[in-house]
Amino acid sequence: MAQGKVYLVGAGPGDPKLITVRGLRALQRCDVVVYDRLAGPQLLQETRPGTERIYVGKRPDRHTMKQEEINRLLLDLALAGKVVCRLKGGDPTVFGRVGEEAELLRQHGVPYEIVPGITSAIAVPAYAGIPVTHRDLASSFSIVTGHESPDKLDRMIQWDKVTNATGTLLFLMGVSKIGYISEQLIKFGRPAETPVALIRWGTRAEQETLTGTLGDIEQKVREADFQPPAVIVVGDVVRQRETLRWIEAKPLFGWRVLVTRARSQASELADRIDDLGGEPYVFPVIDTVKQTNPDEIERIAAALREAERFDWVVLTSVAGVEYLFSWLAEMRVDIRRFAGARFAAVGPKTAEALAARGIVADVIPSQFQAEGLLDSLADQLESGQRALLPRGDLARGLLPAELAKAGVEAVELDVYENRLVVQEDDRIVEMLRAGEIHAVTFTSSSTVVNLLEALRRLGAERPAELLVGCTIACIGPITARTAEAHGLRVTLTAEQSTIEGLLEAMLKHRSAGNEIS
């Protein structure tokens, strides 16, 4: 049996984009990922299909697995020939107990790598607008554990030396001990007026910051019922927050948005949400594949052999463009054989996909759906014309039916198939139940139907009820009607059926003073 290997990887502070390139590669090549509570859940989506996931996280009220058991688990997995990614929040060498895990592996001759991560001690304050050093305020900083009982803290921390050793003090995991920490710092020389900030779940949608002074922060924590996990910052750099806070100024800050598009199409929407300060959670429920039905493939071949006979080629999606050209290439049909045809695109993205292949769309409607396309074509269609409609197998029948009424022969080709995707995600149902998903985006009727079915297969008996507290955002009226027909209360619908239109509707919703659902 081949010997395994263990990657001890720092996942960063929570934002999945803050993992290092090396850490991401280790995650993508492993057979088993052993992860904890502070590792961003989206990172698990980067694993290969079939990768085993083992949760060993710890919460303030309970420990899922003792550290000694985790050490032994890593060893046993590696000895069984597995490539293991031990995914730890922040940096594994900063209060991550990586030394204990690595030592046991070394004793048994198991190869391992320590992959550093961005520590929450620096990243979390940065996301709250607090630099840990500042030319005029602090030239040094200390990172101190706060996750111990007062008597143990006194044994581990020399308060008389730590208190004034550096300009900035950073305490990790010390929310429950904030009163004692403040008391000791004041006792050993820090003024009671020293600024303090607590940043909870920094870099994530739940990020929350509480500020005060050493003299009043314990009372403020109690009044706000401020819960861990949080990073505590002590020092004059906290004052920088008033001018440097940046992430909280973004319009979608605080929103975790479920993106249900196919993974191949999700990045555009997810990246824009991220740019606007939201946290995208990509959960694709649909995928497209090239047509596999032999009878339909023969229909595609027959239609393409008659390319010269078409007066129109009508494209209703980017996927339709991509798969049409894939079939043209496979069947060695030259696009120039459509020289007598005019091309119509349902919207700008479809037109861009055509333009990328050297074809400028002759018709683009102002309303980006089948109804708008029909309106734009109305005065250009002539009885006796033929139109090619390369589409997916779930396309609506409206377009060919209306073309037929105009005397146009519509040749529908299912050039691709839409398939339900049920992603391996053991957290999505739990997150919806806990209200951790604030908005859900639907970009087609298929995403509505498929999300509900995916949730059902993941154990939700009444999936529509899980979405009751979410902002439901639909790309257009057809999608909105489908959502309503399935028991969802649609919050907003894009005026233009595009990703940009959907984002504009979301921004308008937030700017109107609507808080997180």
Residues recognised as catalytic: 36, 58, 173
Phi and psi at 89, nearest 5°, equal -60, 145
- Asked if 21 and 38 touch (Cβ cutoff 8 Å), the reply is no
Number of Cβ atoms within 10 Å of the Cβ of 43: 24
203: left (phi over 0), alpha (psi -120 to 50) or beta: left
How far apart CA 33 and CA 26 sit, in angstroms, is 10
Q: Read off the tokens for 51.
A: 């990768």
Beta bridge partners of 281: 258
Token pair in block for residue 436: 């951790």
* Cβ atoms < 10 Å from Cβ of 424: 12
Distance CA 162, CA 386 (A): 82
> DSSP readout, 90-113?
B-TTSSS-HHHHHHHHHHTT--EE
Q: Which amino acid is at 177?
A: K
88, 8 contact by CB (below 8 A):
yes
**Which burial class, exposed, middle or buried, applies to 247 when counting CB atoms under 10 A from its CB (0-12, 13-18, 19+)?**
middle
Q: List the 141-145 sheet strands across, edge first.
A: 141-145, 168-172, 230-234, 195-200, 208-213
Dist. CA 41–CA 62, nearest whole Å: 20
Question: Which residues make beta-bridge pairs with 115?
Answer: 9
Residue 211 vs residues 189, 216, 227, 230, 233: alpha-carbon distances, Å: 20, 9, 14, 12, 9
d(CA 389, CA 314): 5
E-only strand ranges, 153-252: 168-172, 195-200, 208-213, 230-234
